[in-house]
Chains A and B, each alone.
Chain A
Amino acid sequence: MKLIIEIITGAISLLAGMWITIKAFFSPVVTVQYPRQVIDITPMFRGHTKLLADENPDRTRCIACGICERNCPSNAIKKVEGEKREGEKKKTATAYILDFTACSQCGICVETCPVGALAFSADYNPVGLKRSDFCWDLVKEFEKRRAVI
């Protein structure tokens, strides 16, 4: 008798499971067909870092102090160089080499920058064919962005 009850409850449980999958079969899909459909990126997304513009739009805020370079745990910031221009109190960045292949997006550089020159970009799909494609000079990227505007 117990066996019959077990068989019947077992069969009912199997049918309940089948009902769930068949309901899912006729429901709309929950996937987004990337890359044909793209969803918006949240503003907090941690893409690679980018240099922000100063009040004077010709230069970035970076003063080439090197604090980010020293604090990066992965040694992803390879070279920060700057020069002192006339009439400016602090240095201006001329080169800022970021090796994105080592970056872990921890945010320590963004946090420790004394002038707030760095921010995360929303670039979620950088593409390259070799490792050196991910070694960027952020100053050059800044100038490219400015030229577009």
Chain B
Amino acid sequence: MIEQVINIVGMANIRVIIGLTGILTLITVSTLLLTWAERKVAGHMQRRIAAKEVGPFGLLQPIADAIKLIGKELLTPADVEKPLYFLGPILIFVPVLVSFVVIPFDARLQVMDVNVGILVILAFSSLSVLSILISGWGSNNKYSLIGAVRSVAQNIAYEIPLLLSVLAVVFMSNSLSMNDIVEAQKGLWYVFLQPIAFIIFFIACVAETNRTPFDLPEGESELVAGFHTEYSGMRFALFFLAEYTNIVIVSAVATTLFLGGYNGPILPGIVWFFLKTYFLVFVIMWFRWTFPRVRFDQLLNFSWKILMPLSFLNLIATGALLKLL
């Protein structure tokens, strides 16, 4: 029976289906856990206990939050553009799902080893900008549109340093495939060979996910709440969850590119991968609870005037050194 199914569907496709199911589970569980983790990290950095009442150590807090948000009224404002308004929150998850397909969790634990893996990730991460714009435009609210346009400007500005630092890694590993990049780091992780590229990549990732210190478009003390002003209840929760999902995917990509992916002694590869990814997630949360917000024009200045020349120089230096050595 099973052989017949495999013959019809094809082994590779079954692998993809199982892999996608696994990824969906991973995303759901990890996002819910991250909402809990953010509160705990925030609490302990502020020397208080956060989320301790619901369940042991507050672990059932995300369930309580989800129930509360589901119970809220789904207000649809009158003049919204219905298709765009409804599509926005859903579209945010698409880049993440696709990006997870090409990430190697372990030596042979990868849904699909595309030979241009990193290109797929970069291409689809640009799509997240589209979903922000769709949400802002579809809300039919001038403040949402301003917030969305600011978000788009920020995302576009920080994509270039991101790309250039990834290029430096690609130069060193001679391949665009994620698996090959991880294999090339068996001896020494790239973070030691390319520290500047790692720092630039990490800062660009924090800016891409709209986290403090770069969260002015959705800052709470600002006049507008950004592109998700008009969303309430579960739709707002989807944006919220999408932010955490984005954090996980950028940390995963950073781990793969710079921290050696699943390489590591003694423990199985997948454990190392998750340890490294969640360490980077912790660092992103650490940033949020330490720094104030960067003003929008300073944000763009920082990207165009500091990060971009720096990443260019880094690329040129990498190329020169590789040619000489």
Q: Which residues of A contact B (CB under 8 A)?
A: 3, 7, 14, 17-18, 20-22, 24-31, 33
Contacting pair A30 B286 (CB below 8 A): no
Residues of chain A within 8 A (CB-CB) of B46 are 24
Q: A7-B306, A14-B291 are in contact. Are A21 and B286 (CB under 8 A)?
A: yes
Contacting pair A17 B291 (CB below 8 A): yes
Residues of chain B within 8 A (CB-CB) of A24 are 44-47
Closest to A6 in B: B306
Q: Can you add 17 more A-B contacts, CB < 8 Å, to A21-B290, A31-B47?
A: A7-B306, A17-B290, A18-B287, A18-B290, A20-B290, A21-B286, A22-B45, A22-B286, A25-B45, A26-B44, A28-B47, A29-B43, A29-B44, A29-B49, A30-B48, A31-B49, A33-B49
Residues of chain A within 8 A (CB-CB) of B52 are 33
Contacting pair A30 B290 (CB below 8 A): no
Min CB distance A98 to B, Å, is 35
Q: Which 10 A-B pairs have the closest CB atoms?
A: A31-B48, A21-B290, A30-B47, A21-B45, A25-B44, A25-B45, A17-B290, A18-B290, A29-B47, A29-B49
List 28 contacting pairs A-B, 8 Å CB cutoff, sorted by A. A3-B306, A14-B290, A14-B291, A17-B290, A18-B286, A18-B290, A20-B290, A21-B45, A21-B286, A21-B290, A22-B45, A24-B44, A24-B47, A25-B41, A25-B44, A25-B45, A26-B44, A28-B47, A29-B43, A29-B44, A29-B48, A29-B49, A30-B48, A31-B47, A31-B48, A31-B49, A33-B49, A33-B52
Contacting pair B286 A27 (CB below 8 A): no
Residues of chain B within 8 A (CB-CB) of A28 are 47
Min CB distance A146 to B, Å, is 39
Within the assembled complex, what's the spacing in Å between the Cα atoms of A18 and B289?
9
Within the assembled complex, what's the spacing in Å between the Cα atoms of A21 and B42?
10
Q: Which residues of B contact A (CB under 8 A)?
A: 41, 43-49, 52, 286-287, 289-291, 306
Within the assembled complex, what's the spacing in Å between the Cα atoms of A30 and B46?
9
Residues of chain A within 8 A (CB-CB) of B49 are 29, 31, 33
Min CB distance B284 to A, Å, is 12
Within the assembled complex, what's the spacing in Å between the Cα atoms of A22 and B44?
9
A-B interface contact total, Cβ < 8 Å:
38
Min CB distance B313 to A, Å, is 12
Within the assembled complex, what's the spacing in Å between the Cα atoms of A71 and B47?
45
Contacting pair B47 A21 (CB below 8 A): no
Min CB distance B310 to A, Å, is 9
Residues of chain B within 8 A (CB-CB) of A31 are 47-49
Residues of chain B within 8 A (CB-CB) of A29 are 43-44, 47-49
Residues of chain A within 8 A (CB-CB) of B306 are 3, 7
Residues of chain B within 8 A (CB-CB) of A27 are 47
Within the assembled complex, what's the spacing in Å between the Cα atoms of A31 and B46?
10
Residues of chain B within 8 A (CB-CB) of A26 are 44
Within the assembled complex, what's the spacing in Å between the Cα atoms of A22 and B45?
7
Within the assembled complex, what's the spacing in Å between the Cα atoms of A20 and B289?
11
Residues of chain A within 8 A (CB-CB) of B287 are 18
Min CB distance A11 to B, Å, is 9
Within the assembled complex, what's the spacing in Å between the Cα atoms of A28 and B287?
21
Within the assembled complex, what's the spacing in Å between the Cα atoms of A56 and B41?
60
Closest to B289 in A: A21
Closest to A17 in B: B290
Residues of chain A within 8 A (CB-CB) of B47 are 24, 27-31
Residues of chain B within 8 A (CB-CB) of A18 are 286-287, 290
Min CB distance B118 to A, Å, is 27
Residues of chain A within 8 A (CB-CB) of B291 are 14, 17
Min CB distance B214 to A, Å, is 13
Within the assembled complex, what's the spacing in Å between the Cα atoms of A70 and B226?
56
Residues of chain B within 8 A (CB-CB) of A7 are 306
Closest to A30 in B: B47
Residues of chain B within 8 A (CB-CB) of A33 are 49, 52
Within the assembled complex, what's the spacing in Å between the Cα atoms of A20 and B46?
11
Min CB distance B66 to A, Å, is 25
Min CB distance A13 to B, Å, is 10
Within the assembled complex, what's the spacing in Å between the Cα atoms of A73 and B287?
51
Within the assembled complex, what's the spacing in Å between the Cα atoms of A14 and B287?
9
Within the assembled complex, what's the spacing in Å between the Cα atoms of A34 and B2?
59
